[in-house]
């Protein structure tokens, strides 16, 4: 019993020391990052005001290392995010905002079903936008080594948006990864695609007008094509060369015209012949998280629109879930 107690004490002291060391190192990192910020047109006044209360957040590191995309199989991931309850809530939200959503659909040529799907998966139609201090989250992830360059750039962009008074830093609460608003925009997405749709000289991504228009603008700018396919689930032949199987979302390789893959698709009669000249890739998303997963199941043939959603969130399963929920809304509207 004494041995067990001693072990717990040692573990507690170790975790306390690690946390303490991280806080000390974080403060040193913040001093160094200030120099970089000043070199990137952030005033000392803005930096000191905005970053004064930023903290190292250990939970952010835990969330980063244990994302659902890293461990949930495809069936589980999709079913959790495309439930009948989710569809019902989305239909109610649509009826409450029908004029705005229909107007934006026509203006940007982005289907309302896609916008509903993204909002539903990202924030459950604005009911859960996150409670994390985004500045502390981005600072923690910038200090961390795993993706320091990426998050440092995002933090600098956010500081610039604050410096130029495009965003009020006191409102910046969102996801652990630094995403903000009803559609969970990262700072670089805010900078490049967010718009002041209601012309009140302020971009508010927790307001339906600006949020919906900004999401539609983003999708239009990165190349979403309305009424084009996203993916089809397929029964894949084991004769297909494995080089054609994509298991990573970083970049889809070995794309071909759909007609090329027909001989490797057992149920290819379900795929319209009109799709034959479209470029597609084959994905087998479970292979990257389940070492002993079957090589050929589940399998999907994915089109250009699928890759557009990958630009929104670089996850094979996220894109599948978005397009699945979009189709469910289309069946109802």
**In the chain, which ranges are continuous DSSP H helix?**
2-39, 44-51, 58-65, 68-71, 74-81, 84-96, 98-108, 112-123, 134-143, 148-163, 187-193, 208-222, 258-261, 304-312, 316-332
> CA 97 to CA 185: how far, in whole Å?
21
* The two structure tokens encoding residue 138: 């981005």
> CA 282 to CA 268: how far, in whole Å?
13
> What residues does each domain of the chain span?
2-67+130-180, 231-302
Per-residue pLDDT at 6: 42
Answer yes or no: is pLDDT of 63 > 60. Answer: yes
Mean pLDDT of the chain: 90
Confidence of residue 5 (pLDDT cuts 50, 70, 90): very low
Higher-scoring residue by pLDDT: 260, 5: 260
Answer yes or no: is pLDDT of 15 > 60. Answer: no
Higher-scoring residue by pLDDT: 289, 116: 116
Answer yes or no: is pLDDT of 1 > 50. Answer: no
Residue whose tokens read 């199941």: 297
What size, in residues, is the chain? 333
pTM over 0.95: no
> CA 184 to CA 80: how far, in whole Å?
19
> CA 329 to CA 90: how far, in whole Å?
8
Confidence of residue 132 (pLDDT cuts 50, 70, 90): very high
Answer yes or no: is pLDDT of 13 > 60. Answer: no
Fold of 2-67+130-180: Helicase, Ruva Protein; domain 3 (1.10.8)
> CA 99 to CA 115: how far, in whole Å?
14
Answer yes or no: is pLDDT of 20 > 80. Answer: no
> CA 14 to CA 219: how far, in whole Å?
47
> CA 213 to CA 35: how far, in whole Å?
36
Confidence of residue 65 (pLDDT cuts 50, 70, 90): confident
Higher-scoring residue by pLDDT: 123, 169: 123
pLDDT digits (tens, 9 = 90+) for 226-255: 989 999 999 999 899 989 999 989 899 999
**In 72-193, which ranges are continuous DSSP H helix?**
74-81, 84-96, 98-108, 112-123, 134-143, 148-163, 187-193
Cβ pair 102, 112 in contact under 8 A: yes
């Amino acid at each position: 019993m004494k041995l067990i107690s001693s072990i717990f004490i040692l573990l507690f002291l170790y975790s306390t020391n690690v946390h303490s060391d991280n806080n000390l190192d974080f403060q040193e990192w913040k001093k160094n990052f200030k120099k970089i910020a000043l070199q990137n047109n952030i005033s000392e006044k803005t930096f000191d005001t905005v970053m004064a209360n930023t903290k190292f957040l250990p939970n952010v590191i835990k969330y980063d290392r244990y994302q659902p995309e890293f461990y949930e199989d495809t069936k589980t991931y999709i079913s959790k995010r495309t439930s009948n309850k989710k569809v019902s809530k989305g239909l109610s939200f649509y009826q409450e905002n029908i004029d705005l959503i229909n107007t934006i659909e026509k203006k940007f040529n982005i289907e309302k079903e896609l916008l509903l799907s993204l909002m539903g998966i990202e924030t459950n139609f604005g009911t859960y936008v996150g409670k994390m201090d985004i500045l502390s989250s981005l600072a923690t992830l910038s200090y961390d080594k795993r993706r320091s360059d990426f998050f440092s750039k995002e933090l600098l962009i956010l500081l610039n948006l604050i410096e130029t008074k495009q965003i009020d830093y006191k409102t910046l609460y969102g996801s652990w990864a630094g995403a903000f608003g009803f559609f969970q925009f990262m700072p670089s997405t805010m900078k490049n695609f967010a718009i002041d749709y209601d012309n009140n000289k302020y971009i508010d991504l927790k307001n339906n007008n600006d949020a919906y228009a900004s999401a539609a603008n983003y999708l239009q700018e990165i190349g979403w094509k309305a009424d084009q396919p996203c993916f089809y689930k397929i029964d894949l032949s084991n004769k297909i060369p494995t080089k054609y199987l994509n298991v990573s979302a970083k970049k889809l390789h070995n794309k071909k015209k759909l007609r090329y893959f027909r001989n490797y698709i057992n149920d290819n009669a379900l795929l319209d012949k009109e799709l034959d000249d479209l470029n597609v890739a084959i994905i087998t998303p479970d292979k990257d998280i389940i070492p002993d997963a079957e090589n050929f199941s589940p399998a999907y043939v994915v089109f250009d629109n699928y890759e557009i959603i990958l630009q929104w969130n670089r996850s094979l399963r996220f894109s599948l879930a978005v397009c699945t929920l979009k189709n469910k809304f289309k069946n109802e509207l």
